[in-house]
């Protein structure tokens, strides 16, 4: 950087243009990145990020925001350290969320001997290599009847009218309920799977599957969000996480003898190996193959490749921030852990220092309504 402390919006603009030009020149891998699109007041999602000079935490648990005032908030958890930045977000259904960025250390859990391979699917959300299955809750399918009714009511309203705006909010609220239920379920499932020392999962082409006739079911499952949770929780707690390449034929190889028996149609859920005669459940066999391939990747020392997380096999590593939350670091200042006004009599206060240029993990600190 140039040594000047820029506002968050200027840093975001600089990053957006750099990603765009690097993508055009071929320096950036992955799909092409378009030019930055400026925010509009007509966007359903509004957000702003503030530095420490634009907000502060009150002793009574409220949050003061410059030019807005004190906000009465509902805290979802205790902050482990003083925040370095604040992101205020308004979603499409009118809810306000405050996300804090804090500098924390990874919470390393005791080591275990277990590892697991995961095969993601639609009939069952996930099949583990130990034979257990996690059923798909299908939150969108269960709410589809009410969503159809609300969408019909919205389509009957005149464009630009106040009644149409009210109907749009109702539809957005129903979609938000579905998304919240799915996110909560993903967190619980990923935390349960985290109780293994190593987790291996197949790198699925979700964007491609989302353009097929199974698009609604694919998006309802939310594989990408679930895998992202597995990845950052593995880094946070000192677990090994690796992705198996999507070209790996997990459904074609016998997990018992290693014979590649060729591709099989989707309706074939059980098959017999022509070499050793083992009868395989398609999903369980794929999960076992993912486990074996993941072990091979880690044993070969390829944990830093595209097939694995950079955090695999390491401890005390930087923790990636959760999706949908952003923030910026600040220069070194003495900080204090906890929420002002919410610390109990026996609560421990920790003093720490945020180094210049360091990145802290992101905490969704509270859910607030103004």
Other CB atoms within 10 A of residue 142 CB = 12
Nearest to 98 by CA among 141, 147, 63: 63
**What is the CA 67 to chain-centroid distance, rounded?**
32
SS3 of 194, please?
coil
How many angstroms separate the CA atoms of 228 and 109, rounded? 19
Residue 220 annotated as catalytic: no
Pairing of strands 240-244, 63-65: unpaired
How many angstroms separate the CA atoms of 52 and 174, rounded? 35
Tokens of 53: 């000079």
CA distances (Å), origin 294, targets 261, 284, 300, 304, 351: 21, 15, 10, 13, 40
How many angstroms separate the CA atoms of 144 and 175, rounded? 10
How many angstroms separate the CA atoms of 249 and 226, rounded? 22
Radius of gyration of the chain (CA): 24
Residue 304 annotated as catalytic: no
SS3 of 120, please?
strand
Q: At a CB cut-off of 8 Å and minimum separation 6, what does 195 contact? A: 112, 114
Angle at 1 between CA 304 and CA 100, to 5 degrees: 70
Catalytic residue among 119, 220, 231, 293: 119
Residue 119 annotated as catalytic: yes
Catalytic residue among 220, 231, 283, 293: 283
CA distances (Å), origin 78, targets 223, 224, 253, 282, 301: 29, 28, 48, 44, 38
Nearest to 318 by CA among 365, 362, 366: 362
Contact 272, 97 (CB under 8 A): no
Torsion, Cα of 192, 193, 196, 199 (10° steps)? -160
Maximal C-alpha separation, the chain: 73
Catalytic residue among 103, 202, 220, 293: 202
How many angstroms separate the CA atoms of 127 and 338, rounded? 39
List residues with catalytic annotation. Answer: 119, 202, 283
């Amino acid at each position: 950087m140039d040594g000047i402390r820029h506002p968050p919006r200027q840093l975001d603009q600089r990053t957006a243009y750099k990603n765009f030009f690097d993508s055009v020149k071929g320096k950036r891998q992955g799909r092409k990145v378009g030019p930055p699109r400026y925010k509009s007041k007509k966007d359903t999602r509004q957000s702003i990020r503030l530095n420490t000079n634009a907000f502060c935490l009150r002793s009574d648990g409220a949050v003061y925001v410059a030019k807005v005032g004190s906000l009465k908030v509902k805290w979802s958890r205790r902050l482990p350290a003083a925040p370095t930045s604040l992101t205020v977000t308004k979603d499409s259904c009118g809810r306000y969320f405050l996300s804090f960025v804090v500098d924390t250390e990874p919470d390393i859990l005791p080591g275990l001997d277990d590892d697991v391979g995961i095969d993601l699917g639609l009939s069952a959300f996930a099949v583990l290599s130990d034979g257990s299955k996690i059923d798909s809750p299908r939150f969108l399918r269960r709410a589809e009847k009410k969503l159809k009714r609300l969408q019909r009511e919205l389509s009957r309203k005149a464009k630009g009218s106040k009644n149409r705006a009210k109907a749009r909010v109702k539809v957005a609220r129903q979609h938000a309920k579905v998304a919240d239920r799915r996110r909560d379920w993903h967190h619980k499932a990923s935390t349960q799977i985290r109780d293994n020392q190593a987790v291996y999962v197949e790198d699925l082409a979700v964007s491609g599957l989302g353009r097929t006739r199974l698009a609604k079911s694919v998006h309802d499952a939310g594989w990408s969000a679930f895998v992202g949770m597995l990845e950052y929780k593995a880094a946070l707690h000192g677990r090994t996480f690796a992705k198996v390449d999507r070209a790996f034929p997990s459904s074609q190889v016998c997990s018992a003898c290693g014979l590649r028996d060729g591709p099989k149609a989707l309706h074939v859920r059980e098959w017999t190996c022509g070499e050793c005669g083992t009868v395989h459940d398609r999903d369980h066999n794929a999960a076992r193959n993912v486990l074996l391939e993941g072990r091979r990747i880690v044993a070969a020392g390829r944990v830093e490749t595209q097939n694995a997380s950079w955090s695999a096999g390491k401890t005390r590593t930087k923790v990636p921030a959760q999706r949908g939350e952003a923030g910026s670091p600040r220069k070194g200042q003495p900080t204090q852990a906890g929420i002002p006004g919410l610390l109990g009599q026996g609560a421990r206060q920790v003093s720490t220092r945020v180094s210049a240029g360091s990145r802290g993990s992101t905490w969704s600190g509270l859910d607030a309504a103004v």
